[in-house]
Structure 1
Amino acid sequence: MSGRLADETAVVTGSSSGIGAAIAKGFAEEGANVITNSRALERAETTATEITEAGGTATAVEADISDPDDASHLVDRAVETYGSIDIMVNNAGVSVVDPIVELDPEDWQHVIDVNLSGVFYGAQAAARRMIEQGTGGQILNISSMFGSVGVQGRSPYNASKAGVNTLTQCLAVELADHDICVNAMAPGYVETELTDQTKESDDRGTELDRDDWPYYGYDETHVANRTPMGRFATLEEMQTVALFLVEGGHYTTGEILTADGGWSAFGWGSKAR
């Protein structure tokens, strides 16, 4: 299959839905052999089937990325199935929303295990194989615009993503001698099935109440007022950013590329005020 990633093999963790699934499909459209992944095999198979039915090449692999043995198994399957691993996308992530004084230590640890340790295990497993192959490679870690700010109720998520940012830089420095580029993509609010559900559960309405500000809502009005571009990002836009970062040929490594419609530049403000 021809395309910008023709003959390359990409592993995308957490690719059963949302950004991960979009990246996996986008890479397949550009000719990559894709390993889709989820902790539940049937969910990973759903994305793989959609890819193959569209004319691409994909194999589903069940793995819990927070387990280093599973991370190694995921990479091994890529090499066994397609002969190499050229691109590793560490996308799998979870979140919990609770005030810091009420946060259950188990919830804290679960988020760190998946979002930060999982990225490390995936990157480590991929880097070992890429070094062994001797042909370089691309590692892309999915961070968040929340990795550089404080937000009420989201301490484990934000801390994990801040860790991903610094880990990305460390990996980039250590792996550069092997021609392995390591970058991170930090999305803002993206239109996915999950955000659709979140918007539907946002019962505060669309009016901005100054007395209760700041309000960390997710309906269209609140996101539009906090984002200079005035809308959620699309999954296609996330595909575009991810493809740029893994295609290579751009002398970029150790970069955290924020794709948030200007949210970080604007700060936690409101265009309505």
Structure 2
Amino acid sequence: MPVLDLFDMKDKVVVVTGASSGLGVAFAKGFAEAGADIVLAARRADKLADTAAMVEALGRKALVVPTDVVDPEQCQRVIDAAMETFGHVDVLINNAGVGTAVPATRETPDQFRSVIDINLNGSYWMAQACGRVMQPGSAIVNIASVLGITTAGLPQAAYASSKAGVIGLTRDLAQQWGTRKGIRVNAIAPGFFASEMTDGYQDGYLESQLPRVLLGRTGQGEELAATAIWLASPAAGYVTGQTVPVDGGLTVT
């Protein structure tokens, strides 16, 4: 098979959580361009409709399932709907997430639990639901963060803890499901990318961090989507249990 054919996602069914904005939209667009049909999950149904229109404009099918990933039953509902509509689920992009920047002495239990519940527990519930129906050759890509590996100058104990947990979850599911189910599980650790989370940063913060980035700039959504397509496609057929930083060199400085 020609090497470039290994990246083809034609007629695959890809579930993208957090698909209502930012990087979730970039993932949906990238996989649709690669030939996949997309199941779109997020809490904001109106925004999901916009993403669905974009996917359909690219000639692919889109299924919208409003979802709060903190609820295991809602996560299962996403996969049930995907199976009813398409008959198979080939890829999960576990992208739903939130962040906080609260000093540890002032962070409330509810604030901390909320981040863990969405970022870590939600990733598990979605992966669990997919693991029940995915066939050999399927793939899960968890969206972790460089803050699961290093620090970035803000007080982000809940976020960093949740993303370190996602990295650990990735390793464990890879070893559970690799031989037995033939499902590959990997993670991406993004560095600084424009998103709703970075929109909330204080003025000048991103600029203050760029000296730590070897490439001297923030990332582009399509660069992250391209990495996810590689990890989800047969091109990465011998890659599992790994966390791939996409950070412009941040984690090596």
Using the size of structure 2 for normalisation, the TM-score is 0.92
User: Using the alignment, how far apart are the partners of 2:55 and 2:73 within structure 1?
Assistant: 27
The aligned residue for residue 120 of structure 1 is 124
1:171 has 2:157 as partner: no
Higher gyration radius (CA) = 1
1:24 has 2:10 as partner: no
2:192 to 189, 199, 210: 189
User: Using the alignment, how far apart are the partners of 2:120 and 2:67 within structure 1?
Assistant: 16
1:5 to 1, 6, 9: 9
The aligned residue for residue 36 of structure 1 is 40
CA contact (8 A) 2:98 2:197 kept: no
User: Using the alignment, how far apart are the partners of 1:198 and 1:225 within structure 2?
Assistant: 20
**SS, match of residue 129 in structure 1:** coil
Higher RCO, 1 vs 2 (CA within 8 Å, ≥6 residues apart): 2
CA contact (8 A) 1:36 1:45 kept: no
1:235 has 2:221 as partner: yes
1:156 to 142, 155, 158: 158
Residues paired across the two proteins, number: 245
**SS, match of residue 245 in structure 1:** helix
Cα offset, 1:248, TM superposition: 2.4
**SS, match of residue 238 in structure 1:** helix
1:265 has 2:242 as partner: no
User: Using the alignment, how far apart are the partners of 1:193 and 1:69 within structure 2?
Assistant: 26
Unaligned segments of structure 2, at least 5 residues = none
For residues 190-269 of structure 1, what are the structure 2 equivalents within 5 Å? 190-192=193-195, 194-195=197-198, 197-198=199-200, 201-202=202-203, 217-218=205-206, 221-250=207-236, 251-266=238-253
User: Using the alignment, how far apart are the partners of 2:196 and 2:112 within structure 1?
Assistant: 24
User: Using the alignment, how far apart are the partners of 1:40 and 1:170 within structure 2?
Assistant: 31
The aligned residue for residue 213 of structure 1 is none
CA contact (8 A) 1:223 1:231 kept: no
User: Using the alignment, how far apart are the partners of 2:169 and 2:197 within structure 1?
Assistant: 27
Residue 142 of structure 2 aligns with an amino acid whose one-letter code is: N
Using the size of structure 1 for normalisation, the TM-score is 0.86
CA shift digits 1:227-246 (9 cap, x unpaired): 11000000110111111100
Cα offset, 1:158, TM superposition: 0.1
User: Using the alignment, how far apart are the partners of 2:173 and 2:55 within structure 1?
Assistant: 30
User: Using the alignment, how far apart are the partners of 1:81 and 1:223 within structure 2?
Assistant: 44
Instruction: Go from structure 1 to structure 2 and tell me whether the alpha carbon gap of 1:158 and 1:88 turns closer, same or farther (over 3 Å shift).
Output: same
Residue 212 of structure 2 aligns with an amino acid whose one-letter code is: R
The aligned residue for residue 55 of structure 2 is 51
CA contact (8 A) 1:191 1:233 kept: yes
The aligned residue for residue 210 of structure 1 is none
Residue 233 of structure 1 aligns with an amino acid whose one-letter code is: G
Cα RMSD of the aligned pairs, angstroms, is: 1.6
Percent of aligned pairs with the same amino acid: 37
Cα offset, 1:41, TM superposition: 1.4
User: Using the alignment, how far apart are the partners of 2:223 and 2:84 within structure 1?
Assistant: 32
For residues 96-107 of structure 1, what are the structure 2 equivalents within 5 Å? 96-107=100-111
Residue 258 of structure 1 aligns with an amino acid whose one-letter code is: P
The aligned residue for residue 180 of structure 1 is 183
Cα offset, 1:249, TM superposition: 4.0
For residues 59-70 of structure 1, what are the structure 2 equivalents within 5 Å? 59-70=63-74
User: Using the alignment, how far apart are the partners of 1:96 and 1:33 within structure 2?
Assistant: 32
CA contact (8 A) 1:33 1:56 kept: yes
CA shift digits 1:211-231 (9 cap, x unpaired): xxxxxx22xx32321211000
User: Using the alignment, how far apart are the partners of 2:12 and 2:136 within structure 1?
Assistant: 11
